[in-house]
A and B are shown apart, each in its own frame.
Chain A
């Protein structure tokens, strides 16, 4: 099953490469990966998604925790959580029918058209991965030129939080 793992990491030289290296070294796959400094600049927050059963997820969490630079590791899929991913997609839109259909599609999915040229529309859409997949499927026949996805960012619901 899909796992969303959140990591709080020292924002140090080589820290990210240790996380990424761990996955290839131990034979796990990374499906998506996002990383950026937090409000505390000495820390990075990293979200990655991977596939695995409970035993594998437990082992991944333990292995990540063993890295000297990691402060917290949480498998968000263990509890209620929110996941969001950003999608930017450039679509061929020369035909006025396509432009109309695309606009309504973007509205239905609550996205935004953020760039327009005589021949293209660029759409921005945020949501969970399934929603982004559904949008891409809905517009594929119109002629997709480019797809950019940010990878998943996640946070737990309710009172739980990950902080040092």
Chain B
């Protein structure tokens, strides 16, 4: 058997587990590992400018591909900088392995230079973590880490490796385990057959059903099965922010996103539903509004891979623990076998009602927002232009705030993994590095980062990494010169006292900034030049283009749940409410 140092074993194990790209940033405790990277070509390392971005980029790569993403950081500040990225991935169940260098074993606990208890600090935000204590354990630990990250409900796994464990002069035999078996970890797969039968019966008897599908459907690559079941039944489908794309956004049966900024028709249909079929969704507070008032008439079917998610916030009448794919396939075959069909008359009436709601207050009804024109560019129209220019086929990443909601509402995602955003943690700064990860995975697909002048400044340094690694992403900056969502809340709940949500004259010249990094900068101030400039932007296939678009500074995101209300209690504009 070949003798290798710990550093070489780590990189060899990454290769053998199928890793091709690692995002990271070197430092003292990780230098043996970086030297091992230098001496091989199988695993490509991409240098970022801040460790948070390394994790977000690995995360974006994972969301775009479904593979486990990998990041490598050093001890101490390298590790703590990675924390926001890890928490982001944890909240959205994204499979990542984050490898951190650690001070040498003999120095652990001595407050050594750049020492942080990474396993301790990351504990609440990881699926699992390991501290490797000897080089002989590295390969098996890496195999376990990727297995744990990518199976069951996916999530980030931290592998902390003290510097002495990767020491170049201490060599041990290298063997990569052919399979991983853990007696304490056996993720469930198929749902309980009896429960699935009950669910099918309940679904077929429904008069006012809604299918509520979330990020779990995307993660489990179950979109085609969801579509098959939904089409078979002809039931309305709503997606969570994380689920967008798992059911085609342009399909007639799609009623839009639900929740705090969901459509009027999706939220109202949920409120009046008699059966809610929740799959891969978690009844998050941004979906349900006030729990006590949540969908009073509904029988709840809840399918999720994670037993703790079922009946956590809303008690499920029919709980099913299993993967979205296996449960949906089983449901479809049971529906077909049963020979029963939904109550056509009731479902027809239900659709009639939903279509009325859609016509009255839907996102695409004429009066949703005042029209753009002249110097007035509405953010909604920017997203519509983006959709038109990219023909609905771009991978869109976003940061967090109003721009994120406008993108979620107005870009109609037809495919899963097309929409990449930090839904759970709501991490500003996520968009650009996530776009880099997606662009690395899909170099021939348009990748747009929809952002705002607030969020983009949280990881703007990665414009430099875009140059180094030739990642020509497009940045669509909805610039309203304020922290828009904060200001919206201040308008609605704090009597327009704009505490710390405006920059006065301190915003940079984004065009000059982009150019300083060697990219193309564009400023758009007139509505009639928006679409043309956007075409120009996307025509530059091999350039990073930063579009700084000056949008209406006063726009709010609507619909918006009224605090303390039910799903159907919505603000529809600054003056209208349900």
Count residues on chain A whose CB falls below 8 Å from chain B CBs. 19
* Complex contact A59–B312 (CB within 8 A): yes
Partner-binding segment picked from A68-76, A87-95, A102-110, A116-124: A68-76
The verdict on A63 contacting B124 (CB below 8 Å), with A13-B131, A14-B131, A164-B183 known, is no
Stretch at the interface among A17-25, A28-36, A138-146, A148-156: A17-25
From the candidates B124, B148, B311, B312, name the one contacting A21 in the complex (CB within 8 A): B124
Complex contact A70–B184 (CB within 8 A): yes
**Closest residue of B by beta carbon distance from A21:** B123
A63 to B182, CA, bound (A): 18
- A-facing residues in B283-319 (Cβ within 8 Å): 306-308, 311-312, 315
CB atoms of B184 and A68 under 8 A apart: yes
Residues of the A chain whose Cβ atoms lie less than 8 Å from the Cβ of B120? 14, 17
A55 vs B310: C-alpha distance in the bound complex, in angstroms? 11
Please tell me if the beta carbons of B311 and A55 are within 8 angstroms of each other in the complex.
yes
Interface residues of A in 48-76 (CB under 8 A from B): 55, 58-59, 62-63, 65-66, 68-71
Q: Is A85 an interface residue (CB 8 A)?
A: no
Q: A21-B123, A55-B315 are in contact. Are A62 and B183 (CB under 8 A)?
A: no
| A63 CB to nearest B CB, Å | 5
Partner of B308, one of A13, A55, A66, A71: A66
Question: Majority SS of interface residues in chain B?
Answer: loop
B123 and A18 contacting across the interface, CB-CB below 8 Å: yes
Q: How distant is the Cα of A10 from the Cα of B129 in the complex, in angstroms?
A: 14
Number of A-B contacts (CB under 8 A): 39
**Contacting A14 at CB < 8 Å: which of B123, B124, B182?**
B123
Query: Given the complex of chains A and B, what is the CA–CA distance between A70 and B186 in angstroms?
Result: 11
Q: Are A25 and B311 in contact (CB under 8 A)?
A: no
CB-nearest residue of chain A to B152: A66
Q: In the complex, what residues of A have CB within 8 A of residue B133's CB?
A: 13
User: Is B172's beta carbon under 8 Å from chain A?
Assistant: no
Q: Distance (Å) between the CB of A25 and the closest chain B CB?
A: 5
Residues of A with C-beta under 8 A to B119: 13-14
CA distance A58 to B128 in the complex (A): 22
Known interface pairs A59-B312, A63-B308. Does A68 touch B123 (Cβ–Cβ under 8 Å)? Answer: no
A51, B211: Cα distance in complex, Å: 36
Interfacial chain A residues near B306, Cβ < 8 Å: 66
Query: In the complex, A117 Cα to B23 Cα: how many Å?
Result: 67
With a CB–CB cut-off of 8 A, which chain B residues contact A66?
306-308
- B140-156 CB mask vs A (1 if < 8 Å, else 0) is 00000000100000000
Q: How far is A68 from B130 in the complex, measured between Cα atoms in Å? A: 11
Establish whether residues B185 and A68, one from each chain, have CB atoms under 8 Å apart when the complex forms. Answer: yes
Q: Which residues of B contact A25 (CB under 8 A)?
A: 124
Are the C-beta atoms of B185 and A62 separated by less than 8 Å? no
Of the listed residues B133, B184, B185, the one surrounded by the most CB atoms of chain A closer than 10 A to its CB is: B184
| B127: interface (CB < 8 Å) | yes
Q: 1/0 per residue B166-187: CB within 8 Å of A?
A: 0000000000000000111100
Which residues of B in the span 539-574 have a Cβ within 8 Å of any Cβ on A? none
Question: Residues of A contacting B307 with CB < 8 Å?
Answer: 62, 65-66
Q: Say yes or no: A68-B128 contact (C-beta < 8 A), given A14-B123, A21-B123.
A: yes
List chain A residues, Cβ under 8 A from B182. Answer: 68
Residues of A within 8 A of B148 (CB): 68
Q: How far is it, in angstroms, between the C-alpha of A164 and the C-alpha of B120 when the chains are bound?
A: 28
Partner of B127, one of A14, A55, A65, A68: A68
Which of chain A's residues has its CB closest to B148's CB?
Answer: A68
Asked, given contacts A25-B124, A55-B315, A70-B184, whether A14 binds B129 with beta carbons under 8 Å apart, the answer is yes
Report the minimal beta-carbon distance from A159 to chain B, rounded to whole angstroms: 23
Q: Report A-chain residues with C-beta under 8 Å of the C-beta of B185.
A: 68
Instruction: Judge whether A69 and B123 touch: CB under 8 Å.
Output: no
How far does the Cβ of B463 sit from chain A's closest Cβ, in whole Å?
36
Among all A-B residue pairs, the 10 with the closest Cβ atoms: A68-B128, A62-B308, A71-B184, A62-B307, A25-B124, A68-B185, A63-B308, A21-B123, A10-B184, A66-B308
23 contacts between A and B (CB under 8 A): A10-B184, A13-B119, A14-B119, A17-B120, A17-B123, A18-B123, A21-B123, A21-B124, A25-B124, A55-B315, A59-B311, A59-B312, A66-B306, A66-B308, A68-B127, A68-B128, A68-B148, A68-B184, A68-B185, A69-B184, A70-B184, A71-B183, A71-B184
Query: A14-B123, A68-B128, A70-B184 are known contacts; what are 10 more A-B pairs with Cβ within 8 Å?
Result: A13-B119, A21-B123, A55-B311, A58-B311, A59-B311, A62-B308, A66-B307, A68-B127, A71-B183, A164-B183
